Chains A and B, each alone.
Chain A
């Protein structure tokens, strides 16, 4: 009994993610087997019934996402886990969750794509899919852990943000973080702040499910089965939740509120780890497993006297453009390093607006970028 309960653990990122989810109060998981995320489903199949929760292996990725949304509407914190191909399949229903404001967490353990790609190799090719995978304008939050401990803490954060803002939150892991084992001290319940969705304060009959005062407001959310008799639809809807597809003014209000709800809060949704950027001439921008190589490269460069720093966004969407811009105003160059052909690189360029030089160190062969590769780039740019 003592073995598993001990806070000090030697576990992989996928397992840490399940611990974080359970600590956050997640009690419903629906999924479909896919490498390299499968351990999450396997562990939760064992753990959830023990805590009164529910695990279900669905018939496909699409239904897993659907079941998660259905479960969340009954007031339960719900999640699914997948990888690139499955993430693509879930997109329509992720859009449904974003549009109907149903909180949920989607773990995407990124592997090398496109298509079936290299199922056991790491990549960071889904950054843009996490932002723009579903059709139409929509809000989304995505987090990128860089360690096993962060796979725990950012999963807790993912649930908190989903519940607070009523949005789907994507935990954008990668194969390295998912399968790497580290010794971690898992925070206990007393160290964690857990957020639950706000329920309506009014009686059934007085409840307007999508009524908000503010133009970026988050409406309280009733629970299916508690008498509120509300309607949830993927059509453009009015404050009652009823279809309002013929009303351009309401449509405009709704979509602008939904996007503003997240994009308009970019300052409070900025979660960045900055290391030695105060006096830096060049700063490396990295996230996920690549940030580990980048951190090492920065240390090595410092030892050799280079004034360099690391900028590591933990929340990647909404993109922390204001912070990047501030940084760009005081450095000469930024090096973005990522396992794709420049997805965050272009976001950084857009944020920097020519104030600093931006370079890309990318690797797309299914191998992790090494510290030496980043170090070499630092020396070239410096």
Chain B
């Protein structure tokens, strides 16, 4: 018997506690708890939203691969009882692309942070979107590099404070949803940790969508972002989300002036386009058909 650092409750996934049904605890490696997220962090809420969405779909846990990169949110794969892949910084989508292409029958989901997806992994984000490969990506966006203790990210608002913007940020932030849409993603939505029911619904739709789907989930980091930006605790930050998020449908009826400091949430974009693994399967079949007809040398 190998020595383990933690007692892991494999085969004891908490079903008892949910009346014998595989409730949310059935998706967790409960032996890995406590998790490493700080008190007040929004990542647990987003993880919960994902698990509720997944549970509603009734998908097979054993046919679902969850891939993450590096950072606070990327540690989520350690807590989820699926086949999980905790990769190198920024590369979650590139690893996930390999998994999905090699076995398109698997559900492939990427859970990663804003620094991971938008900075070091930005190239993989736009190219996964461009291919429209059937992978769902949830970006845990807390506007900061938490794991390295509070540096600004490519989505930190101009003027915000971080350890590497001691005089306020002069960088202009990405709108990740616009970026993914422009790059070719076919389902784009934004939600917040505060609007968790809506977020759950958006993730569910993203999972069901065929093609590259992207959900930006605003999270709160009271430890590093809040502390330096006059949002003193998690409640303040959640209230900030409540006050600044406007549903995209409601926004159509609002004065642009009132929308200036607002963040649109909801389903922002949806379209249909050929999905990459299906296109490759088509090529494969076409080539084999031609070979059967003798058009190609084998």
Contacts and interface: CB of A to CB of B under 8 A. Distances in A.
A50 B288 contact: yes
Q: Which of A30, A224, A244 has the most CB of B within 10 A?
A: A224
Interface string B65-108: 10100000001011001111111100101111111111101100
A68 B96 CA distance: 10
Interface string A59-71: 1101100111111
Interface string B185-208: 000000000000000000000000
A225 B63 contact: yes
Interface in A220-244: 224-235, 238-240, 242-244
Contact of B298 (A5, A69, A210, A231): A5
Contacts of A284: none
Contacts of B123: 59-60, 63
Contacts of A3: 297
Given A28-B102, A228-B83, A235-B86, A70 B95 contact: yes
Contacts, number: 170
Interface stretch (A72-80, A272-280, A317-325): A72-80
Given A74-B102, A238-B4, A224 B83 contact: yes
Contacts of B81: 229
Contacts of A247: 5
A30 B287 contact: no
Given A240-B8, A247-B5, A56 B106 contact: no
Given A50-B296, A63-B124, A227 B62 contact: yes
A71 B85 contact: no
Nearest to A28: B102
A66 B103 contact: no
B103 A225 contact: yes
A229 B4 CA distance: 17
B83 A67 contact: no
Nearest to B6: A242
Nearest to A239: B2
A243 B78 contact: yes
B231 interface: no
A59 B97 CA distance: 11
Interface string A70-113: 11111110100000000000001100100000000000000000
B34 interface: no
A30 B102 CA distance: 11
A250 interface: yes
Contacts of A234: 86-88
B297 A4 contact: yes
A23 B92 CA distance: 30
Given A66-B98, A67-B97, A1 B82 contact: no
B95 A69 contact: yes
Given A5-B298, A66-B95, A71-B98, A246 B5 contact: yes
A146 interface: no
A28 B103 CA distance: 10
A239 B97 CA distance: 27
B5 A70 contact: no
A5 B84 CA distance: 41
B106 A1 contact: no
Nearest to A95: B88
Contacts of A347: none
A74 B98 CA distance: 9
Contacts of B91: 62-63, 66, 93
B32 A242 contact: yes
A63 B94 contact: yes
Nearest to B97: A67
Interface in B1-44: 2-6, 8, 10-11, 29, 32
A247 B284 CA distance: 48
A205 interface: yes
A229 B61 contact: yes
B98 A78 contact: yes
Given A1-B298, A50-B291, A59-B127, A76 B87 contact: no
Contacts of B5: 238, 242, 244, 246-247, 250
Contacts of B75: 243
A242 B124 contact: no
Nearest to A231: B84
A76 B86 CA distance: 19
Given A96-B88, A231-B86, A235-B86, A70 B3 contact: no
Interface of B: 2-6, 8, 10-11, 29, 32, 61-63, 65, 67, 75, 77-78, 81-88, 91, 93-103, 105-106, 123-124, 127, 280, 283-284, 287-288, 291, 294, 296-298
Given A1-B298, A56-B97, A66-B91, 5 more contacts: A204-B62, A234-B88, A238-B5, A244-B5, A246-B5
9 contacts: A28-B101, A50-B288, A72-B98, A204-B62, A225-B103, A229-B83, A239-B4, A240-B4, A243-B75
Closest 5 pairs between A and B when the two form their complex, measured CB to CB: A70-B98, A239-B2, A67-B98, A63-B94, A66-B94
